[in-house]
Amino acid sequence: MELVFTSYRDSLKMDGLKVSLDYHAPKLCSYPTLLYLIMPATKGLTGGSVERICHVVLDNNWELIRDFINEVHELGINRIMFCDWATKEQIAHGKLCLAGIIGRYIEDKAHRDREFGFSIKIEYGDGREVL
C-alpha cells in the first residue's frame, strides 16, 4: 500500500483514492474529507508543540486511521493520496504543512508497531519530503 501526501493540484495527475486533509477543498473537488486527520489550529506555536499536539490527535484517532487504510486495502486499492492546500512553492517558503507529521506517524506505526498485515510505503509530493 502506498500512501502519498501531496497537494490538491499535484493529485490531479495521480491515480488512486484521493482524500482531503482540510475542511475546505478546492471548488469542484469531490475528495472525501477525513475529519479525524484534520489538525487543530497551531498558529503561533513552536514546531515541537505542534508535533506534540498532532501526535495526541493521531493517537486518539489511530483506530479510525488504521481501519480506513485496512478497508481501502481490502477493496484492492493500493494507493491513497492524502491532499491538502500547501504547494511546493509555499513549502519552500516555510509554510507549515502537517503532512510530514502525519506521514511519519503512520510510517512509525506501520513499521515499528507492525499495525498492518501488508507493507506501507510513504511518499511525499510537492516538496513535502523536506518536512
Instruction: Give the residue from 2, 104, 129, 3 showing the smallest Cα distance to 54.
Output: 104
Contact 65, 58 (CB under 8 A): yes
Alpha carbons 12 and 17: distance in angstroms, whole number: 11
- When comparing pLDDT for 65 and 41, which is higher? 65
pLDDT category of residue 58 using cuts at 50, 70 and 90: very high
Q: What is the mean pLDDT of the chain?
A: 88
What is the C-alpha separation between 94 and 92, in angstroms, rounded?
Answer: 6
pLDDT tens profile 79-106: 999 998 877 777 777 777 788 889 999 9
- Cell 482524500 -> residue: 19
71 band by pLDDT with thresholds 50, 70 and 90: very high
pTM over 0.85: yes
Banded model confidence at residue 14, pLDDT cuts 50, 70, 90: very high
3-state SS of the chain is CEEEEEEHHHHCCCCCEEEECCCCCCCCCCCCECHHHCCCCCCCCCHHHHHHHHHHHHHHCHHHHHHHHHHHHHCCCCEEEEEECCCHHHHHCCCCCCHHHHHHHHHHHHHCCCCCCCCCEEEECCCHHHC
